[in-house]
Amino acid sequence: MHVCFDIGGTSIKGALVNSPEDIELVPRIATPGHDLDAFTAALDSVVKQARETPKCVSISITGIINPATGLAVVANIPCLHGRPMQQDLEEALGLPVIITNDADCFTLAEAELGVAKGHDIVFGVILGTGVGGGIVVNGQLLNRHGGYAGEWGHGPVAATQAGSPPVDLPRIQCGCGLKGCIDATCSARGMEKLHKHLHGETSQAEDIMIRWLAGEVASSRTIDVYVDLIASPLALVANATGASIVPVGGGLSNVPMLIAEIDRVVKERMLLPPENPFVVPAENKIEPGIIGAAVLGHRAFP
């Protein structure tokens, strides 16, 4: 028995886990972002629901552990940020604790039990409120000792011209402090900012995609620019990692036509494009963070 969590700035999703294929979800808990004692008490309330003493607690979280210092970098949960999170939680819960980035857990879930099963090199992509990524090589996370490999969403690489015909684009400010990150430009919020820049219209990403699928001209132009922007950085990542598949999760992955269009353009820009679909929707649509955490917990404490 393991206890697994997928923790974000808003809510904590918990589960009692017998194996990665046997997961019992428990009701969500609001994340106590500013109170460490309340945060650990929230986790402990789930641990106490286990029918036997858990072997470990395995956590998927929207942050990273700095491998040089062991300190957590979790900007949206201030009570954890800059702290020795693993040590804090092990002392509070009295159990071994594993902590892994949520995009890494997503990628591992797809490599182990999803669309990427059987692939040697997997680059997992999150396209939602942010843009993230993770890398699995021969079944193992590249970040298994902490770190941020796969975080392709950050870095000032977004093109300042895109689309056919090309249109000039601003360097959008990113939450990380840089301008021109893929996270700021190609997340759901980035798509909305692109649409407003192009058409002077405020629309949600979901509505933009619905109108694009219906053939509406303005939204079609936005998607044309969006796909052009995201395809080149993703093709470069594919070349650099040698990944043979790119499963995509997050809210934008729920539109298969968008993922298919990204796949088409990315393959046009790769050094050795595969014949089969390459950028594909993820299979684990429900709680991939918990599934990835369960895989790691089961491996460490079988």
Q: What is the pLDDT of residues 93-129, one digit of tens each?
A: 999 999 999 999 999 999 999 999 999 999 999 999 8
Residue 241 has pLDDT above 90, yes or no: yes
Cα first-last separation, the chain = 9
- Using pLDDT thresholds of 50, 70 and 90, give the confidence band for residue 171: very high
Helix intervals (H) in 200-277? 205-213, 217-241, 256-268
Q: Can you tell me the mean pLDDT for 43-56?
A: 96
Q: What is the pLDDT of residues 4-30, one digit of tens each?
A: 999 998 999 999 999 999 999 999 999
DSSP-assigned beta bridge partners for residue 100: 60
pLDDT in tens, 242-267: 999 999 999 999 999 999 999 999 99
Q: Which of 48-57, 131-140, 171-180, 229-238 has the lowest mean pLDDT?
A: 171-180
Task: Look over the chain and give the mean of its residue pLDDT values, rounded to a whole number.
Answer: 95
**Domains of the chain (ranges, CATH numbers):** 2-104+286-300 (3.30.420.40), 117-281 (3.30.420.40)
Q: Residue 163 has what pLDDT?
A: 96
Amino acid in the structure at residue 244: S
Percent of the chain past pLDDT 70, that is, above it, reads 100
The pLDDT, as a whole number, for residue 175 is 85
Burial class (CB in 10 A: 0-12, 13-18, 19+), 129: middle
| pLDDT at position 176 | 85
Helix residue ranges, H only, the chain? 36-47, 85-93, 102-113, 182-186, 188-199, 205-213, 217-241, 256-268, 288-300
Confidence of residue 76 (pLDDT cuts 50, 70, 90): confident
- What mean pLDDT do residues 81-85 have? 95
pLDDT at position 126: 95
Confidence of residue 280 (pLDDT cuts 50, 70, 90): very high
